[in-house]
Amino acid sequence: MSQEARFSRMEPELRKANLIEATLVCLKRHGFQGASIRKISAEAGVSVGLISHHYSGKDELVAEAYRAITGRVMSLLRDAMEQAAPNARERLSAFFRGSFSAELLDPQLIDAWLAFWGAVRTAESINLAHEHSYGEYRGILRKVLTELAQEEGWENFDADLAAISLSALLDGLWLESGLNPGTFTPEQGIQICEAWVDGLQAGGRQRFCVQTTGC
């Protein structure tokens, strides 16, 4: 039986996973612009026509890969937080440890992120996948920061703005890790994020007040 025949007989989820892995390999190897449907089909061992039967084009396939990867990341981070102590500060620490775990600092994953980020402005389907994934990501941070504010008794705390700030810090560290892996260790990445929360608890929260008083 040919590779293409085996692919056609796969369960839909397995078939999708096969194409997503091929897409990730091509993104790492060629970047977004160079990762054509022809190259992805060759990597997956199937015809261009077979991929075209399931996806309208490269943009849709890359968007599907983006959603799949972010799903894995969210699952890992949620699992890490669920295993932590019930208070918000400990769950944030677990989130940071998960963010700098070997699974999330895997070079292939980071290379895929860099390719995804570079493609966000080029295609509507990829931009929508990005908006959804980052909305979910910031939602996790907003929820735990809201809980931290409640536990600490902070009034008028703008958890939305704080989540944007913390997300930007984490994004910057991931980007730096991808471009210059030797700049800092995973332990130092965690340390930087913990320092951000320490600053929040030491008075920095006043910068995230909905109003100028009572925070």
Q: Is 209 helix (H, G, I), strand (E, B) or coil?
A: strand
Judge whether 79 lies within some domain. Answer: no
Q: How many domains does the chain have?
A: 1
Q: What is the pLDDT along the chain (215 residues), one digit of tens a residue?
A: 455 555 555 555 677 788 888 998 898 888 888 999 999 999 988 888 888 888 888 999 999 999 988 998 999 999 999 999 889 999 999 999 999 999 999 887 888 888 888 888 888 999 999 999 999 999 999 999 999 999 999 999 999 999 999 999 999 999 898 889 899 999 999 999 999 999 999 999 999 998 655 56
> Domain with 124 in it: what CATH number?
1.10.357.10
Judge whether 153 lies within some domain. Answer: yes
Judge whether 21 lies within some domain. Answer: no
Containing structural domain, residue 157 = 87-208
The structure's pTM equals 0.86
